[in-house]
Amino acid sequence: MIALSLHRAGHDASRHSSLKTKRTLGAWLILSTAASLAYADASGGYTLPPPPSELYGDLFVAVQTQGIYPDQKTFVDATPKMDPAQIVQAYHQQMATPGFSLTAFVAQYFTPPTDQSITPPPNQSLREHIDWLWPELTRLTTTANVPPYSSLIPMPKQYVVPGGRFREGYYWDTYFTMLGLQEAGREDLVDDMLDNFAYLIDTIGHIPNGNRTYYVSRSQPPFFSYMVELAAQKEGGRVYQKYLPQLRREHSYWMTGANTLQPGGAVRNVVMLPDKTVLNRYWDERDTPRDESYTEDVNTAKQVTGRPANEVYRDLRAAAESGWDFSSRWFGDNQTLATIRTTSIIPVDLNSLMFHLETTIAIGCGEARDFACVGEFVGRAAKRAIAINKYLWNKNGYYGDYDWKLGQPRNNPSAAMLYPLFAGAAWPDRAHTTANSVEAILLKPGGLVTTTFKTTQQWDAPNGWAPLHWIAVQGLKRYGRGDLSRQIGTRFLADVNNVYATQQKLVEKYVVEGEGTGGGGGGEYPLQDGFGWTNGVTLKLLDLYAPGQ
């Protein structure tokens, strides 16, 4: 399978509770003034302010705890009207005065993000609507137009946002958006977003979850190598060489600490199993509540007994890095968010993506005629493929996750089982067995259900997601199951068409099973429309299965 892949050209340890009670005004002034000067991220040369939780301290805690905005993401996306140090000082001076209103204070000192809702022209076909959406979702936020102290991280070129409350670019979303942009002839935007991500790798040291300061402590599923491959399919092998330095830095980021590991240990994103097999996990360098979901995380931690809150916060953050926030995949009991144990789990999707990253680096090194590097990364990919098929194969007939702390597979079938097929790391017989499991367990009237558990979380049943449908369609075609990929693709496309026909919008996720299909639900926020990755995947599926539509 390695040969096939190559020939394809293929801590802040401070707690927010202590911030509320132990910081003096003088200490806050020192902290905020230092924050206003910005600091250099330890991994690179780009300077950026701290996240809002650090900039505003107990003011941040008060705003989020009191629910000044219905959506916790609103405040962290708001722009301060003056130096944060001055705002913190004013807050401490006014907070104890009679009649003080936190709502009025926030309105006085912060500008909330602008409304992102869009109103399309009437009577557009689905394809016309997607074409109309691209410019509506395109942003340019350089250092010249990002306000001081904003949580938004500037990037040099244009990019496409998902839509709705997601006002910034997101890492793994972007790949699926790129698919549609390339299909629509917008190779310029594909190249722009690739350059933006290369810039983030060079300046921050990795591609954050999204271009916000509160996302910098984690990444997201590493699709950068797929983005490079996508551009290379149109522009030639030189693309591999152009982005080779960033591909290698991306790999180094995900493998940080691997050389220091002992059997049975873990550091950051890397785990070494007792037999010295090395695989990856999701992780976040912080162990505090997420800025954008502060109250939700605090409330989850309160439900947990027998574990320190910071461990719960780390696992919540790591699940956010996975992109599957939240899902039974990460729950100890497959049902309850409070049993989350993300960092104890070796995910099948992440390691499949790492396999692709390693094979892509080998291709890039071949383009650069660095044959020692080719040998190194072919070897790395071969070891990872063996490890995937040893530890991430479930005897029940599908690829799945592995709990390294318990030393056993996770018996939770999910659409992630198709990632080894998508990446080309699956053994052919196991790929066919997995396809049979997909057909028997996950295929529903509206497409592919995400997991078999109904938990009220958005990355569980009855929801289906555009990116997972594309992974399935491509993975199954790769291993000769075009019949099943067509069923999955056409059923999901019908679901998307149905919602568009009745509501004139594309949404973030869809219900694919039950009495009626439609827009999905569950999770921490209402259903969002826009929607970047749905647009991209839908356009690809239209051209595959309904080219005249």
Catalytic residues: 325, 508
C-alpha closest to that of 168 among 135, 208, 222:
208
Contact 377, 358 (CB under 8 A): yes
Q: What residue numbers does the annotated binding site for substrate cover?
A: 165, 172-173, 209, 218-220, 323, 524
What Cα–Cα distance (Å) separates residue 499 from each residue in 184, 464, 506, 528? 22, 13, 7, 13
Peptide bond into 462 cis (omega under 30): yes
Helix H segments across 394-512?
A: 419-423, 428-437, 466-478, 482-503
Task: Name which of 475, 521, 470 is nearest 352 in CA terms.
Answer: 475
- Dmax of the chain from CA atoms? 73
Contact between residue 159 and residue 192 where contact means Cβ atoms under 8 Å apart: yes
Question: For 484, how many CA atoms within 13 A lie in the half-sphere containing its CB?
Answer: 26
Taking Cα atoms as reference points, which of 491, 489, 465 lies closest to residue 475?
489
Name residue 317's amino acid. R
Alpha helices in 368-427 (DSSP H): 371-391, 419-423
Beta bridge partners, 529, equal 507
**What DSSP assignment string belongs to 240-291?**
HHHTHHHHHHHHHHHTTTGGG--TT-EETTEEE-TT--EEE----S--S--G
Binding-site residues, in ranges, read 165, 172-173, 209, 218-220, 323, 524
Nearest Cα neighbor of 316 from 334, 279, 280, 343 is 343
Which of 213, 287, 216 has its CA nearest to residue 15?
Answer: 287
| Residues linked to residue 139 through DSSP beta bridges, in sequence order | 159
- DSSP class of residue 48? E
